[in-house]
Structure 1
Amino acid sequence: MTDAATQAWTSLLDAFEQDLAQPEPEFAPWQPPAEPLPAALAGRAEDVLRRQQERIRRTREELDAVAEQLGALRQVPPPRPDAPVYLDVQA
């Protein structure tokens, strides 16, 4: 591997790790470097991949929870036009 490949992959892994450190990252399109991943960076790349997969799993769980809540909200009947708007709690 060349130093250019190591530098290119290191920069890409740095960007992925910065995204993972943010609670709500702004993902940008990316392209892998032209040369294969250097063996020296394989462990770091596997760690980044594992963390990305964990983020995806948590995001899916959050989406499922939101979908469930939306489903519950859809079960609430719409207000009737003749129903009182205010509740007198002092009388």
Structure 2
Amino acid sequence: MRALLDTNIIIHRENKRVSNYSIGHLFRWLDKLKYDKVIHPYSISEIKKYRDPETQEAISVKLESYEVIKTIKEPDDSFLELIGIPEKSQNDMI
């Protein structure tokens, strides 16, 4: 199985300062269940926009330990009918 990780989860997990202990619990369960942790290419590009260059560089190096989704597909109409159109900003899209 694979688990697609949200950009915020990656930032909290790979940040040098612990800010959310539940992320550690999530990763423990993913490892225990032998899930592959996957990130989206948009998450990588979003992290590259991070304002603090030191933090951005530290997180970018750690991203190499994750599997990256190879294909990007735009949501089709049937999918959007199910979930609605949530994109209000660029961050919502990612």
Q: State the TM-score, normalizing by the size of structure 1.
A: 0.25
Between structures 1 and 2, the one with greater helix share: 1
Between structures 1 and 2, the one with greater strand share: 2
